[in-house]
Chain A
Amino acid sequence: MPTNSDGFSLIEVIVSAAVLSVATLGITSAWKLADDKALAARLDERSRRILAEYAELQNFAPNYLFGQGTSSPRTDSETQGVPLNPGETRNGFLYHPRRVDPTGRTTANALFDDAIPYELTLLVDGQGQLMRLTYRLPYLPDPKGTVVKEIRLNLRQ
């Protein structure tokens, strides 16, 4: 009985430390999962928006714009308002995270990086034109992390 009153045994300390570690790991994993899901939802919304924007452009752009080559494969200002030709691919970025200054200083004008590239391609199959947007989720390995979204263009066959 007196020996029990002297303090905790090594096993008790190890078990309590293990329980605390598991709890901490669980909390941080839940945070990471929440962050990943939030990012996936944001990317899903943006990719749908890009497809909808380009669907309108592809369907209603004047005929003379088709067949024009663009000097840039990027979906930047140079190609704004220029529809894709069948088989053509354009690239861009779905996510532009705030750039964090390693020194911790904040500048008046926020800077943003380019992350999570996407590829937008206009395909032609037996049913007409199909616009395909592909990107990869950074927290999942291939092929599970590759996301493909498609929209069929009905008006311009």
Chain B
Amino acid sequence: MDTHSSRERGLTLVELLVAIVSMVVILGAATGLAITAIARQKVAFDASRLEATHTELAKAIFYAIKTADSFQIFDDASSANLSSIRSYGVGSSSGDYLSCRHSLINAGGPGELVEQDYEFVRTSTDGSGTLVRTVRFLSSGRHEIRREFAGVIAARPIFSMGNGIPQAHWSIATSLDRADFDVYAMPLSMQ
């Protein structure tokens, strides 16, 4: 009777060890699942965010060309720098630099000449680099607005006038896949 009651008072060392090991295994598995789930969500989220950013960039390029009073494609920034405030320099049918100018009418004061430039800065020979968007206020001399879009892949010049239509083509490599972007935009002033 004494032996029986002593067995009912608690767990043996072996039972306790087995319970602890089981709990550790289950907790380890649950933690592993949670970490994997978080990592997968982060990969998917990063990919979606990068694609959304470049979708926004594609729309910005589309509307910049569409609403431009004048625009020009240059081989690169060095040839674009030859432009003056009155007119663009000699352009190219395709290149890595696009400049669009807009005359904004201000009802309460003088108008503003705004230039939106898109420059693809190649960082390696495999065609990858960064697309830089710069908004310059040519009349008022306000500070320019600059934004960089990394992760761009373009083996050929991004901007071109293929078949007489201003267009841009590039790709991005997300952590999951590759997404292609094609922009066609006929300026309203040319329609």
Smallest CB separation, B67 vs chain A (Å): 13
**Per-residue contact bits, chain A 55-76, to B (CB 8 Å; 1 contact, 0 not):** 0110111100100000000000
A46, A56, A57: which contacts B179 (Cβ < 8 A)? Answer: A46
Tell me the chain B residues, 17-55 only, with Cβ under 8 Å from chain A: 33, 37, 40, 44, 48, 51, 55
B contact patch SS: mixed
Q: Is B108 an interface residue (CB 8 A)?
A: no
Smallest CB separation, A78 vs chain B (Å): 11
Check B163 against A53 for contact (C-beta < 8 Å). no
In the bound complex, residues from chain B placing their C-beta under 8 Å from that of A42 are: 48, 51
Check A49 against B55 for contact (C-beta < 8 Å). yes
Q: A2-B4, A31-B37 are in contact. Are A96 and B163 (CB under 8 A)?
A: no
CA of A45 to CA of B56 in the docked complex: distance in angstroms? 12
Q: Is B164 an interface residue (CB 8 A)?
A: yes
A–B Cβ pairs within 8 angstroms, 19 of them: A5-B7, A27-B33, A35-B44, A42-B51, A45-B51, A49-B181, A53-B182, A56-B186, A60-B186, A61-B163, A61-B186, A77-B169, A95-B177, A96-B178, A96-B180, A97-B176, A98-B176, A109-B126, A112-B177
Q: Is B165 an interface residue (CB 8 A)?
A: yes
**Interface size of A as a range:** 20 to 34
Q: Is A17 an interface residue (CB 8 A)?
A: no
User: A27: nearest residue on chain B (CB-CB)?
Assistant: B33
> Which A residues are closer than 8 A to B by beta carbons?
2, 5, 27, 31, 35, 38, 41-42, 45-46, 49-50, 53-54, 56-57, 59-62, 65, 77, 80-82, 95-98, 108-110, 112
**Per-residue contact bits, chain B 158-191, to A (CB 8 Å; 1 contact, 0 not):** 0010111101010001011111111111100001
CA of A119 to CA of B90 in the docked complex: distance in angstroms? 40
13 additional contacts (CB under 8 A) given A59-B186, A96-B180: A27-B33, A31-B40, A41-B48, A42-B48, A49-B58, A57-B165, A60-B191, A62-B163, A81-B160, A82-B163, A98-B178, A109-B126, A112-B173
Check B55 against A65 for contact (C-beta < 8 Å). no
CA of A53 to CA of B59 in the docked complex: distance in angstroms? 10
User: B175: nearest residue on chain A (CB-CB)?
Assistant: A98
CA of A95 to CA of B179 in the docked complex: distance in angstroms? 7
Check A110 against B163 for contact (C-beta < 8 Å). no
